[in-house]
Amino acid sequence: MQPQVLIPWDREEAISVDEAAHAALKSAGTIWTWARDRHIGRRVGGGTWMISHPALMMLLNNDAAALSAYLAGDRRSDHVGSYFDRLLISRVS
C-alpha cells in the first residue's frame, strides 16, 4: 500500500520544505530526503514537494507508532490526532 501522506490533500496540514527545515532545525536537503525516504511529504500540483507537519513532528519525536498509523491513513485515533490537535490542524477523514 502506498503511504497515505497528505492524502486526502489538506493545505492546512502541509508546509513547504523550507518551513519544515526551519521547524526541524535541519537543512532543506535533509527534509527533502526525509520526505522521499521516510514518507513525510509528497509532490503536489506541478511537482512541488510539500511536507505533512504532523508527520514531521512524529518523526522528530521518534514516534514510529504514530507515524506508521498516519502513513496507513489514520487521522482520527487519539495517538495520531494528538499531533493534529497540538498543531491546531483539523483532522480530515
**Interval 52-93: pLDDT, tens:** 999 999 999 999 999 999 999 999 899 999 999 999 998 775
Is the pLDDT reported for residue 15 higher than 60?
Answer: yes
DSSP notation for 13-40: TEEEHHHHHHHHTS-HHHHHHHHHHS-S
Q: Which residues contact 69 (CB under 8 A, 6 or more apart)?
A: 77, 79, 80
Mean pLDDT, range 15-26, rounded to an integer: 98
- 66, 68, 74, 78: CA torsion to nearest 10: -20
Q: Is pLDDT larger for residue 93 or for residue 14?
A: 14
Measuring CA to CA, which residue among 58, 55, 22 is closest to residue 40?
Answer: 55
Identify the pLDDT of residue 93.
56
The dihedral sign for the CA sequence 64, 68, 73, 74? negative
Residue ranges of domains in the chain: 14-86
The topology (CATH level 3) of 14-86 is: Multidrug-efflux Transporter Regulator; Chain: A; Domain 2 (1.10.1660)
Identify the pLDDT of residue 40.
98
Q: List the Cα angle 26/29/32 in 5-degree steps.
A: 100
